[in-house]
Structure 1
Amino acid sequence: MKRQLVWLIGLACIMAPLACTRQASVRAPSTRPRFELALGLSPIPTCTPTPTVTPTFTATSMPTRTPIPTQASTATPVPSQRLASARQAFEWGDFDRAKQEFDALYADPGASNEERREAAFWRARSRLDASDYTGAVATLQQFITTYPDDRRIAPAQFMLARAYEGLQEWRNALAAYRQYLRLNKVLAMEAYDGIGKAAMQLSDYATAIQAYMEGMQAAKESSWLVYMREGIAQAELARNRPQEAVKQYDAILSVARVDAYRSRILYLAAQALIQAGDPQAAQQRYLEAVNRYPTTQYAYLSLVELVNAGVPVDDYQRGLVDYHAKVYQPAIDALTRVVQRKLDAREGEALWYLALSLKANGDLSRSIERCQQLIDKVPQSKHAGDAWLEMAAAHALRGDTEQALHVYRQFVTQYPASPLAPQALWRAANLQVSVGDLAGAAVTYRDLAARYPQAENVPQALFNAALLDYRRGDYTAARTAWQALVQKHPNTDAAVAARFWIGKACLALGDQERAKQAWQAAMRLAPDSYYGLRAAELLAGVAVLRSGGFEEQLNELAVSQTEAEEWLRSWLKVPTGASLATLPSAITELLAWQRGEALLEVGHRIQALEEFEKIKQQWWDDPLAMYQLALAFHERGLYRLSIICAERLMRLAPVERRAQAPFFLHKLAYPLHFRELIIAQAQTRNLDPLLLAALIRQESLFEPSITSIADARGLAQVIPPTGEWIAGQLGWTKWQLDDLWRPVVSVTFGAYYLHVQLNAFDGRVVPALMAYNAGPGRVRQWLENFSDLDMLVEMAPVSEPAHYVRLIYANYYRYRQLYRSGT
């Protein structure tokens, strides 16, 4: 899947940095594996569909998400079934198979005119998405010539322009975008930008400026207005008119509000002034970026320009900019000069950032000294309390646990009313746990609860103290403490966990009956939670959940959309007889909706998601709109948004109605998208397909284009290094990292990696899931200290994998409830 990062960054929020580059980004076509062969799939699946009970939706112009044909030994499928199969291949990102099947349908004399028309459009779209630009140009031209009255002629022209861009045929791209604008204006901004970029490639700067000026006139959002101004500025610079570029940058600064974006424009304006031969004016722009926006990237780049030019810069600002740019030694040097002047009014701030810079640079001793200096010399500083905690943390990093604990306690003693005092005790207790002082940590947790009963983390502190009693073998004390927690804080997450652990403590004391009662209470009060589910397993005699291997049978609960809408009518005030499923014109006539539809049709999925996200946020508190959007997003294959809207709807329902939410809505919230692919890979790797679905829901909410901050990609959120390793294990030599966004690859790799972890941990689901999230090496180390997997979930040194396990446990239960009724 081609990534459009300029757009992802550029239009995320108004006035954010909108155009890191104006040069067209072109990725050369790549040789891709035949995934239908690699996965053991038939090039043309048979025509017998797998029956399934799923929510029924209104037909849509986008590829229909219908049950996909299963594999069997039959004759060549009839055209309509081949169309469904080809659309499935396209949704999976299996473009070779999609092209093959759309081509076969288009050439089939038995296909109807409508089927041939659909095949003609989608065979072109498949080539474009596969970066087969030559094939895309040929098939798009054929579609435009053959079906001149089709409603998709304008999108086809836009796609044709994209294909020409891929071939770097800039004149043809420019002409195709112009033709699109004659037919449609919904994506006018993208078209004008495309014209401008193509003209820049041709060194036709006047045409580029004209395109961006037309874009400015057509812009309906401030973000597009400043984007077009940036294009004009770059064209003016290219034709050596830097003062005209500065005028555009100044116009942007008159409306831009985001610090990072303003800093960037100041930097670009300074660069233009350098080109204009006015270094003094440029330096003023650099200085403004440094002085007003010191936390931004372009403040640092501006500082570099100033230092290289020998321009004096205030040492405090210099240190601040360097610190935020993570250039710590220059920050230390500059801030040290500030501190040495002693009379500087910013001494407290300088000491604080100097201490942080020293710590980040590995000089813990001097960091401690600077924290102490701040506490002693500038006690009124807003950072004084933080300095105590940083000083303690630095002692801990040096291995001086005793001194770290002394600092935490001394701070609480001297400043008991500080809002940071509960945090100091919390950190002290956690530090004691990390060095194995379990009894001391329990005392500190309880001290926190006694001193600061209103602190937010008191229930968790009390839970942790009891858990440490349990770890030390004092089961009676642990049970008593958890019982007290439940009584005092009954409606907290800590109480949910405590009810489960009361049962564990009772069992450890040999009181099986009370253990059973405690687990029954945990099930009754939080049946869908990790702890309620673990309680159910222990009551059933399942000490450790193990993978049961592949289980294909899905005995699904019947669902009814009519029932769901009757439930909605029971608490929503809607006119009798009014359609609840149809999107109202108040939504469909919004520019964001129209742009989202158009962007999705031409293959700009990420940009489309941004537009639809605006719609979701605008209607976030309207339950009927959430229902309608959940259906509409589902129809368009925007499963993440559909899930979020379905869940939001159920949360907006009155409390007394939530328990009666129909299964139709629960299946919207816990769907089984990419069903055939998930089942096929689960069977290959001997996994329960519902466990794999539960993992995918947690990882991506079934959105193929998603990317995490750690660069995990696609449905199963595989990071590139892991993807490279899996490809090597599977013998896949002709693939590229971008393929991780393709569902056919992501599910294959995710299933394989989960299979590897289950094998590595003897089929135990909890450590396997933790290993999928945090890596098997870490989990093996943790298991050396925690043989009880329930204790591992509570005490893992990194909290994210444990949280991950709890969520997938709940997902897995919901999937079994919905798709394997009776379990």
Structure 2
Amino acid sequence: MKARSRQVVFGLISLTLVGVTTVWVAQSREEILPFAIETRKKVVETDKDRPSEVFPLIALSPLERQKQLETIAERGHQLDQNRARYLLATTALEAKKPDSALSALKGLETDYSLLEGQILLKRAKAYEMKGKTAQAREIWYNLTQEQSNPAIVGEAVYHLGRYNSQEWETLVKQFPAHPRTHEVIRERLKENPDQPDLMKILIDQTPEAEGMGEWRDRLVNNYRSQLSPEDWEAIAVGYWETWEYRKAGNAYGNAPKTPENVYRYGRGLQVSGETRRAKTIYLELLNSFPDAEITGLGLRRLAGMVSRNDALFYLDRAIDEFPKEAPEALISKAKLLEAARSPQAAQQARDSLLENYSQSDAAAAYRWERVEKYAQQGELDEAIEWAQTITQENNNSSLAAKAGFWAGKWLQQQGDTAAAEKQFRQTFSQHPQSYYAWRSAVHLGLPVGDFESIRNQSPRVVKPAARPLLPSGSDQLKELYQLGEDNWVWKLWQTETANQTALSVEEQFTEGVIKLTQGRYLKGISQISSLQFRDQPEDYSRWQSLREKPMYWHSLFPFPYNESILNWSEKRELNPLLTISLIRQESRFEKDISSVAGARGLMQIMPATGKWVAGKINLSDYSLSDPEDNIQLGTWYLDYTHSRYNNNSMLAVASYNAGPGNVAKWVDRYSLKDADEFVEKIPFPETKGYVEAVFGNYWNYLRLYNPQIQRLMDETTAK
């Protein structure tokens, strides 16, 4: 064996990797190191499919998981060793122990190349913490030269800018989507708000962020002449997504003339009561974009604002030219003809709906009207027939579960127990997430709790052991999500999707999940829930695939504040799943949210009620925005409403929404003999919907977080 120039000759080298000893003869250090690095990479790639011991530890506190991570860092498989070292370094930095962090990070960027950038940034932070700013700045500078990931480079530029503010000019110009850029801009606007170009970046990149409404107003009122059509579109989108429709409509009037923008211009004016202007804009939409899909919806909107004859003209055009809008247009046409005392023509429109658009939501809604009419008249055979048609023709409709359940109820009342049980099982298995799946389970005699027994149950709550793999995003982002590095996940996501004008189904879901990790539960849940309104066949199919995964449902029904919820529910002798179900409905877990009426916090407590309850429990110092205080007060009040109604949870929940006085009147007016019929008779639509939503939530939390019910569902569905 011959040594090469300026190289050291090595002898027999042996490495043990994953229990396999590889022996070879190497000629030089330059040959050994690349081989070893490449071999480590192959080992890590192999480890990707192995179950991780690290991921299930993410839900634990740093102190609780410390020992286990240290053990894994020594003895786990290669990839898990890397993950453990990374988290140990993170914990050390949080504890202001830079030497421990540097020890854990030593050589890790080579072993764990997927997170190379984050590892080097942590090393720089450790050096800075030790006062070695020169080493830290060198790392940041090298990252700007060697990394291509904009999230990493932007982070490095931000830190360099803390020592030389000129670097922040680069950050703002080159990385407008980076969250660090937004931090810098906000600080600069605090010092000098007269900077419209900076405002534009925030409004374009962070339309939903707190305080953006004020900045939008400021741009519109003070810098109108400096706004481009694209600026107006960004402003309009922000107003639209925060439900300021009058402002949105006016802003869309200055945006680029696309079908979507013109429609929203008209719709914003219509919702705001500016009918005359709205008509003009809808006509502009019709004339400028006669073939655009959204023009069909514009025709239906226009029909609701004009004379009957004109309305029929526009509806007929929608029916003839826009199949997507035809079902709703036919229903509207039938109502107009009925009002014009043309029942035969009205029925022809309905018959056309059932014949040509039998599987539409409009057809389902019409069928349900027939169901209710026959049921009120006591003609149960006809009601059952129409209800069962919904389950057959409109099984994807939101009315299908309700129709199936009530068909079962009426069959039960007629004494046909076998057919009723079959109907309940069908509803339970085909619509397992619905309120009516729970009601069906109750009528099947399954141990899922009923209105009278839920309060006293204490179901075992088991959260998922580890975060599942996200369906979208880079490999780096997915790895960081499973490691619980949520701030980094958000930074990566912002930069990875910066130039996208629309998100795929998987991307929209992923963004919703990431918002949950940021504590933005209202936006996250709403974004995931709104996937159901995607109407393209391919999107619908992909949404259905997502719904098959537990991650989808756990994201729709998250379990934040679990320690406080479990603790105070136990002290009040309340079912914790009922407590969290009410919180989800009241606030979507937004601790600072306030209602129009002034109710505040997680359990939406009115200040006067909070003061009254605080006096009852001797709580002198509290805040309705503090989750612990709010849950303490809210669970006391929920216990109180239960005590008013002999622990009937349906009446207690209705009372929480409508007040004890109203519920007392309903109890006197309606019989409690049949709870399902009582719920249907609640005269306040808001309270009726509230009761169904809270107990629908309860059912989903029960089936998602209680292993016993999960097994029961599998067994029942299998039958």
CA distance in 1, matches of 2:337, 2:640: 35
State the Cα distance separating 1:311 from its structure 2 match.
Answer: 5.0
Counterpart contact for 2:99–2:126, Cα < 8 Å: yes
Counterpart contact for 2:655–2:662, Cα < 8 Å: yes
Corresponding position: 1:252 with 2:175: yes
Q: Aligned match of 2:439 in 534, 555, 565?
A: 534
Counterpart contact for 1:796–1:802, Cα < 8 Å: no
Q: Aligned match of 1:758 in 623, 628, 642?
A: 642
Instruction: Report the equivalent of 2:154.
Output: 226
**Alignment deviations for residues 654-703 of structure 1 (CA, whole Å, 9 cap, x no partner):** x9xx9xx9xxxx99x9999999987875564344x3xx3365379679xx
State the Cα distance separating 1:765 from its structure 2 match.
Answer: 3.0
**Alignment deviations for residues 460-487 of structure 1 (CA, whole Å, 9 cap, x no partner):** 5423431343245554432332244445
Instruction: Report the equivalent of 1:135.
Output: none
Corresponding position: 1:160 with 2:90: no
Instruction: Report the equivalent of 1:411.
Output: 314
Q: Aligned match of 2:613 in 713, 729, 733?
A: 729
Instruction: Report the equivalent of 1:546.
Output: 451
Instruction: Report the equivalent of 1:523.
Output: 424
Corresponding position: 1:452 with 2:341: no
Instruction: Report the equivalent of 2:282.
Output: 371
**Alignment deviations for residues 289-325 of structure 1 (CA, whole Å, 9 cap, x no partner):** 69998989889959956985785545x5565455334
CA distance in 2, matches of 1:491, 1:195: 55
Q: Aligned match of 1:184 in 81, 105, 112?
A: 105
**Alignment deviations for residues 434-462 of structure 1 (CA, whole Å, 9 cap, x no partner):** xxxxx999998776333412435544542
| 1:203-352 equivalent positions in 2, closer than 5 A | 212-213=140-141, 216=144, 221-233=149-161, 235-237=163-165, 241=166, 244-252=167-175, 308=222, 313=227, 320-326=233-239, 346=257, 352=263
**Change in 2 beyond 3 A, CA 1:761/1:207:** farther
- Greater relative CO (CA pairs within 8 A, separation 6+): 1
CA distance in 2, matches of 1:465, 1:523: 21
**Change in 2 beyond 3 A, CA 1:233/1:409:** farther
**Alignment deviations for residues 132-184 of structure 1 (CA, whole Å, 9 cap, x no partner):** xxxxxxxxxxxxxxxxxx999855642333xxxxxxxxxxxxxx547633543
Instruction: Report the equivalent of 1:21.
Output: none
State the Cα distance separating 1:413 from its structure 2 match.
Answer: 1.8
Counterpart contact for 2:143–2:153, Cα < 8 Å: yes
**Change in 2 beyond 3 A, CA 1:506/1:64:** closer
Q: Aligned match of 1:466 in 321, 346, 371?
A: 371
What SS does the corresponding residue of 2:421 show, helix, strand or coil?
Answer: helix
CA distance in 1, matches of 2:446, 2:101: 66
CA distance in 1, matches of 2:169, 2:570: 62
**Change in 2 beyond 3 A, CA 1:800/1:681:** closer
Q: Aligned match of 1:805 in 695, 707, 712?
A: 695
What SS does the corresponding residue of 1:546 show, helix, strand or coil?
Answer: coil
What SS does the corresponding residue of 2:613 show, helix, strand or coil?
Answer: helix
Counterpart contact for 1:547–1:758, Cα < 8 Å: no
Counterpart contact for 1:303–1:318, Cα < 8 Å: no
What SS does the corresponding residue of 2:267 show, helix, strand or coil?
Answer: helix
Counterpart contact for 2:300–2:315, Cα < 8 Å: no
Instruction: Report the equivalent of 1:477.
Output: 382
Q: Aligned match of 2:415 in 479, 503, 513?
A: 513
Residue type of the partner of 1:789?
F
Residue type of the partner of 2:382?
A
Corresponding position: 1:358 with 2:294: no
What SS does the corresponding residue of 2:619 show, helix, strand or coil?
Answer: coil
Paired residues, what number?
546
CA distance in 1, matches of 2:487, 2:203: 34
**Change in 2 beyond 3 A, CA 1:180/1:61:** same
Corresponding position: 1:791 with 2:704: no
CA distance in 1, matches of 2:260, 2:56: 57
Counterpart contact for 1:290–1:300, Cα < 8 Å: no
State the Cα distance separating 1:613 from its structure 2 match.
Answer: 12
Instruction: Report the equivalent of 2:299.
Output: 388
| 1:87-98 equivalent positions in 2, closer than 5 A | none
RMSD: 7.1
**Change in 2 beyond 3 A, CA 1:593/1:404:** same
Counterpart contact for 1:196–1:208, Cα < 8 Å: yes
Q: Aligned match of 2:403 in 498, 502, 506?
A: 498
Residue type of the partner of 1:685?
R
Q: With structure 2 as the length reference, what TM-score do the two structures score? A: 0.53
Residue type of the partner of 2:422?
A
**Change in 2 beyond 3 A, CA 1:522/1:61:** closer
**Change in 2 beyond 3 A, CA 1:484/1:58:** closer
Residue type of the partner of 1:453?
S
Residue type of the partner of 1:323?
A
Q: With structure 1 as the length reference, what TM-score do the two structures score? A: 0.47
Fraction of identical pairs, as percent = 13
State the Cα distance separating 1:729 from its structure 2 match.
Answer: 1.2
CA distance in 1, matches of 2:683, 2:351: 18
What SS does the corresponding residue of 1:722 show, helix, strand or coil?
Answer: coil
State the Cα distance separating 1:420 from its structure 2 match.
Answer: 1.6
Residue type of the partner of 2:695?
V
Residue type of the partner of 1:415?
A
Please, which runs of 5 or more residues in structure 1 have no aligned partner? 1-56, 66-86, 92-97, 103-114, 122-149, 162-175, 339-344, 396-402, 434-438, 560-580, 585-589, 615-619, 622-639, 645-654
Instruction: Report the equivalent of 2:28.
Output: none
**Change in 2 beyond 3 A, CA 1:502/1:754:** same
**Change in 2 beyond 3 A, CA 1:608/1:289:** closer
CA distance in 1, matches of 2:581, 2:640: 20
Counterpart contact for 2:172–2:181, Cα < 8 Å: no
Please, which runs of 5 or more residues in structure 2 have no aligned partner? 1-50, 71-84, 109-117, 339-343, 470-474, 495-504, 507-523, 529-544, 672-676
State the Cα distance separating 1:719 from its structure 2 match.
Answer: 1.9
Residue type of the partner of 1:519?
A
**Change in 2 beyond 3 A, CA 1:227/1:62:** same
What SS does the corresponding residue of 1:719 show, helix, strand or coil?
Answer: coil
Counterpart contact for 2:641–2:660, Cα < 8 Å: no
Which stretch shifts more, 296-305 or 381-390? 296-305
Counterpart contact for 2:424–2:441, Cα < 8 Å: yes
**Alignment deviations for residues 559-610 of structure 1 (CA, whole Å, 9 cap, x no partner):** 9xxxxxxxxxxxxxxxxxxxxx9x99xxxxx86688568x76xxx7x55997
What SS does the corresponding residue of 2:319 show, helix, strand or coil?
Answer: coil
What SS does the corresponding residue of 1:467 show, helix, strand or coil?
Answer: helix
Counterpart contact for 1:323–1:357, Cα < 8 Å: no
Residue type of the partner of 2:267?
L
Counterpart contact for 1:758–1:764, Cα < 8 Å: yes
**Change in 2 beyond 3 A, CA 1:749/1:456:** same
Counterpart contact for 1:300–1:322, Cα < 8 Å: no
CA distance in 2, matches of 1:496, 1:310: 51
**Alignment deviations for residues 344-402 of structure 1 (CA, whole Å, 9 cap, x no partner):** x9497775454234335443443345434544676456643232333456x5xxxxxxx
Residue type of the partner of 1:366?
R
